[in-house]
Amino acid sequence: MSETADPRAGSGDVRPWEPCSSLPPVTITDVKAICTAPDGIRLVVVKVETSDAGLYGVGCATFTQRPLAVVAAIEHYLKPFLVGRDPDDIEDIWQASFVSSYWRGGPVLNNAMSGVDEALWDIKGKRAGMPVYQLLGGRVRRAADVYVHANGRDVDELEDRVRAFMADGFRHIRCQIDVPGYATYGRGSADPSATGTREAAADRLARHQNPWEPGPYCRVVPRMFEAIRARVGDDVELLHDVHERVPPIMAVQLAKDLEPYRLFFLEDVFAPEDQEYFRLLRPQVSTPLAMGELYVSQAEYVPLIRDRLIDFIRVHISDIGGITPARKLAAFAEVLGVRTAWHGPGDVSPVGHAANLHLDLAASNFGIQEAYLFPERTREVFPGCPEIRDGAMWADDRPGLGIDIDEAAAAKYPFPDHAYNGAWPEIRRADGTVIRP
Ligand code: GCO
Ligand code: MG
């Protein structure tokens, strides 16, 4: 290989192959972490810049409970490791980055890698002149059906929210309800539009000071679905997130109690540490089961997919390292009849939602896409934020991921100066025992 032929000469890069000859050679010149919180939720996005002026990519690296640790992993380790490399070498860069820390994996390092990985897919699409879903095999559907979050202090308020979403064309609706006197998961602020304000954060923190008890929760939820299903009928898909909080045997009973209400899926009935209980639950109920937002490697999914113990994988894509591992996991799941339901709350950046969408459009085993209705100030920071209408998320034919970040607008929304820097406030049982959030 002649030294002059390789534009990376001297970069210390030891790959034994030439850059792609059908495209002008280009190298990575910068890897930047951009922090912004337009909705009061800490988001981290990576921007990979190249030697081709104007050619850059963006990727989601959002781990909202430890964002600054992800920024350090990006700036101190991935940036020096990647500058000078060929952005076309997505798989090689992912594999080399993964083992470069020797002790590898985990949400911090995976989120840092995801920001780079998604940005490289964005760049490859731009260089190829096509959207990422085309690089993944092309569309198999016109849009990705989504589910949205309805919650209420009581069944009447919840019914109002469900009916409002149904009137807006949504066909899949997650239902969560207060358990009076307890700090229950899934209750956004009283006013959803206030989600990102300091008052809402204080409100959430205050509510989290309440205790939480599994007994009252396990009694309220079946009554909620009995009432909601009776009031809104069968022509809407209802979902629920247990959020890993219930002792496993009580979760088994809860899943059985919910069977008559024909949920689209029941999520996180167990904590990752208790996943072997799926072998006890699976033969007892036909309620579809969704699991996995807390997993931080493909390997954790293997027994659940291999043995068909779940129906949907709930991958927070940046937590396992980006599009590159996610598309392989989706393919493995397809072989075993398990569907995708990529994690998509407010603490996945709009760039991450765009990555979800491109995978959704190209996967034959697509199940459902979780959506977050970003407010206008967030959409201002992220031009090209995927459009949601008629109960689905839509992509257009723009090359790459089809989304950008306006760095000036992002700078208008620094991380909140909140005491916990994004960590989840602890939640305790009535006797003071701290529990999983
Ligand atoms: C979901 C998740 C989220 C998580 C949040 C943690 O199903 O969307 O459970 O609501 O709680 O992403 O930061
Ligand atoms: Mg969840």
Q: What is the CATH number of the domain that holds 371?
A: 3.20.20.120
**Domain-embedded: residue 312:** yes
**b/e code 357-381 from CB counts within 10 Å (16+ = b):** bbbbbbbebbbbbbbbebbeebbbb
- The answer to whether the CB of 316 is under 6 A from ligand 1 is no
Q: 329 CA distance to ligand 1 centroid (A)?
A: 20
Residue 57 inside a domain? The answer is: no
What tens digit of pLDDT does each residue of 15-50 get? 778 887 788 899 999 999 999 999 999 999 999 999
Residue range 233-259, pLDDT digits in tens: 999 999 999 999 999 999 999 999 999
Q: What angle do CA 410, 415, 421 make, to 5 degrees?
A: 155
Indicate if the pLDDT at residue 385 is higher than 50. Answer: yes
Compute the distance between CA of residue 255 and CA of residue 252 in angstroms, rounded to an integer: 5
- pLDDT tens profile 309-352: 999 999 999 999 999 999 999 999 999 999 999 999 999 999 99
Average pLDDT over residues 57-67: 98
Q: CB of 345 closer than 6 A to ligand 1? A: yes
Give residue 123's pLDDT: 98
Range list of H helices, 210-337? 214-232, 248-258, 278-281, 298-306, 317-320, 323-335
For the residues of 183-241, what is the DSSP string, one character each?
A: --TT---SSGGGTTSHHHHHHHHHHHHSB--HHHHHHHHHHHHHHHHHHH-SSSEEEEE
Q: Is residue 241 within 6 Å of ligand 1 at its C-beta?
A: yes
**DSSP bridge pairs for 175:** 150
Tokens 């009849």: give the residue: 337
Closest-approaching ligand to the CA atom of 343:
1
Residue 204 in this model has a pLDDT that exceeds 70: no
* Domain-located, residue 188: yes
Indicate if ligand 1 lies below 6 Å from the C-beta of 298: no
Asked whether residue 302 carries a pLDDT value surpassing 80, the answer given is yes
- The residue among 180 and 3 whose pLDDT is bigger is 180
pLDDT at 5: 52
90 part of a folded domain? no
3-state SS, residue 253: helix
Centre of ligand 2 from the C-alpha of residue 154, in Å: 21
Q: Is residue 415 part of a domain?
A: no
Atom nearest to 348 CA in ligand 1 = 12
Q: Kindly report, residue by residue over 410-436, the tens digit of the pLDDT.
A: 999 999 987 788 888 888 999 999 999
Residue 122 lies in a domain: no
DSSP code at position 38: T
194 pLDDT higher than 50: no
CB of 121 within 8 A of CB of 132?
A: yes
pTM for the structure as a whole: 0.93
**What is the predicted pLDDT for the residue at 210?**
76
**pLDDT, mean over the chain:** 93
Which among 163, 182, 145 is positioned nearest to 235, based on CA atoms?
A: 163
Point out the residues that are catalytic. 185, 243
Helix (H) or strand (E) holding 381: helix 376-381
Give the model's confidence band at 223: pLDDT under 50 very low, under 70 low, under 90 confident, else very high.
very high
Structural domain of 180: 135-400
At 191 the pLDDT is 33
In this structure, which residue's CA is closest to atom 3 in ligand 1? 345
CB of residue 184 inside a 6 A radius of ligand 1: no
| Cα 117 to middle of ligand 1, angstroms | 23
Distance, CA of 217 to CA of 146 (rounded, Å)? 26
Q: Is residue 372 part of a domain?
A: yes
What percent of the chain shows pLDDT beyond 90?
84
Nearest CA to ligand 1 atom 9: 243
Taking 70 as the threshold, does the pLDDT of residue 144 lie above it?
yes
**What's the pLDDT at 22?**
85
81 part of a folded domain: no
In the chain, the number of structural domains is 1
Res. 96: pLDDT tops 50: yes
Task: Say how many Å lie between the CA of residue 195 and the centre of ligand 1.
Answer: 14
Residue 186: nearest ligand to its CA? 1
